[in-house]
A and B are shown apart, each in its own frame.
Chain A
Amino acid sequence: MSTVANQTGAEAPVKKEKLLEMYRRMQMIRQFEEQVNELYTRALMPGLAHLYIGEEAVAVGICEALNVDDYITSTHRGHGHCVAKGASPDRMFAELLGKEAGYCKGKGGSMHIADPATGNLGANAIVAGSAGIATGAAFSAKHAGKGQVAVCFFGEGALGQGVVYEVMNLAALWKLPVIYVCENNLYTEYTHFSETLAGDLLQRGTAFGVPSEAVDGQDVMAVNNVAKRMIARARAGEGPSFLVCNTYRYTGHHVGDINREYYRSKQEEQEWKTSRDPIKLLTKWLTEQGHASTEELSGIAQEVAAEMKAAVEFAIASPYPAIDKVAQDVYA
């Protein structure tokens, strides 16, 4: 049951259009997060944010395999999931700045972006806080019988929370169409996961009879392949899956976590950025396989840069919500 799927592009071929869309979405996430860091550094963003840089292949590889009406739940490190599921950067930036034009009218902020139009049930600032919600969405999906699935994204830190195992047990018993995606970026805030998690990660799924796999989370094609299989299984009514994506968080736990040498070395960070970067790996594969030229890809990157610049300007220029909105939306 536990197999390792990391053979790049080993399964059904993906059309060029889709490949370039995945590249674009990964660029969007990378550049979105760079802009977030810039907004923080320039003191234009209230509060903090948790950047997804380095993990782009996970969100994009999985969300590319989903339909718009499939559900996702996200985490405090959630900007990548939102972008990958189809959210617009301008309204995301507006939310991060607490503006009325934001996805949640400025009431949610970085850690709570939600968007029914793209099936995004919301990012969650409680570690493992959305495990129940994602499983509940899968419960509804099964009841509705339209073949929708739910993807529950969480970090390896969430494997310390009991509710994850409660809902995995339920999902397995009831054959719910949910995929539990654990992004193992190696660090639970400021602590290496080997100090917080005992035993084998995959066995946490297999214990419930849930098919469980690990995948190279830097390889978007590998992630996409295994995601497609797990999603097809869920849609067919065969129940949940558990996927561990091995990845790396390039930056700190949040934008203010600058000095990190007490928990990991600069050399380690550099090694991932140099040889395990998901965008570099995809660029190399796309060009080597003849799917795209370097010029084509850098053209996409430039388009994304222009889009991000405009999106940031939109957010900065947007008004804050009126004060009298403070008590609105407490009750439906």
Chain B
Amino acid sequence: MPESTTKTASATRELTFAQAVNEALAEEMRRDKRVCILGEDVAEAGTPFKVLSGLVQEFGVERVIDTPISEAGFTGVGVGAAMTGMRPVVDIMFGDFLTLTMDQMVNQAAKVHYMSGGKWKVPMVLRTTLGASRRSAAQHSQSLHAWFSHVPGLKVVMPSTPWDAKGLLKSAIRDENPVVFFEDKMMYKLKGPVPAEEYTIPFGVADVKREGEDITLVATSSMVQVALEAAELLEAVGISAEVIDPRTMWPLDEKALIESAKKTSRVMVIDEGYERYGVTAEIASVIAEGAFFDLEAPVKRLGAMHVPIPFSPPLEDVTVPTGPGVFAAAKKLCGKS
């Protein structure tokens, strides 16, 4: 089966992001009987976002398993099941609920392999969501991927397109380590091409979503869509922007990010997590260390404001990066006001 790192494929179809996730799960469950899904309202309901619709009909309630509202409990069950031969995909409905899983993920899943001297392993996937702008307020809108990227032993995946979502999720399920897979709720209805043939996408390989010469926009998850929108606006004022998506926070394709920075000499990093102590800080630091003498300007970061996500729409809308916001900041970084 081909490992696809580029956007070439013999035949593609248009799928939504949600359909791509669903298809990845269905294919892996057909391929490997050890793969099962655990989570709240994953079976008949197919999750509130309907991402898992149809899976219980094909695979039954023995493999698509509704749990009580016990995030710590069923995540822990996932860890133990993974250690003893299953390949569980644990579904945490809202990324905000990850706080309830922290001991299971950080103290258990992430450390089992190391603490046991490499004897036990935890091949599980924790799928969850991130992203604001759904008018869901402070406890249903956070993007907490930086926390997991901080912990050795975990891998963190953030797809930005249906194509990447499917290929990366299949790789996540086949990985021998605990993988946290973040899906932006706002992208579930986003449509894009997905290869008709089977494929996977390896971790640690960034993807250039748009080539450019004057500035690099490093963006993650739905911020890739925001960066692409900004790149269009920049083109209209004569600035050629490159958009690069690391796709996995860990492993991180440092080489590709540094190369793009050297090529364009200006870099902005855009991520929907909190800007302070976040993913943007880490990536900016990687680029500053690796491309400092090729840069024309300090690396600029754009993340979520340091406030709990507010409910009121005009307030919420200013908390996370937008296309026009990225456009304005990028233009300034290029010396054009």
Contact = CB atoms under 8 A, between A and B. Distances in A.
A313 to B, nearest CB: 22
Interface in B105-155: 107-108, 112-121, 123, 152-153, 155
B60 to A, nearest CB: 12
A71 interface: yes
B117 A104 contact: yes
Contact of B113 (A102, A115, A134, A329): A329
B108 A170 contact: no
Contacts of A106: 117
Given A136-B81, A139-B86, A141-B84, A122 B76 contact: no
Contacts of B36: 143
B92 to A, nearest CB: 14
A111 B319 CA distance: 44
Chain A, interface residues (CB within 8 Å), range: 35 or more
B119 A136 contact: no
A332 B118 contact: yes
Contacts, number: 147
A275 B34 CA distance: 51
Contact of B103 (A73, A121, A163, A330): A163
B86 A140 contact: yes
B84 A71 contact: yes
A100 B105 CA distance: 27
Contacts of A136: 76-84, 86, 88
B76 A173 contact: no
A137 interface: yes
Interface stretch (B41-49, B66-74, B288-296, B308-316): B66-74
B22 interface: no
A327 to B, nearest CB: 9
B83 A332 contact: no
Interface of A: 71, 73, 102-108, 112, 114-116, 121-122, 124, 126, 129-141, 143-144, 150, 162-163, 166-167, 169-170, 173, 328-332
Interface of B: 36, 62, 67-68, 70, 72-86, 88, 103-104, 107-108, 112-121, 123, 152-153, 155, 176-177
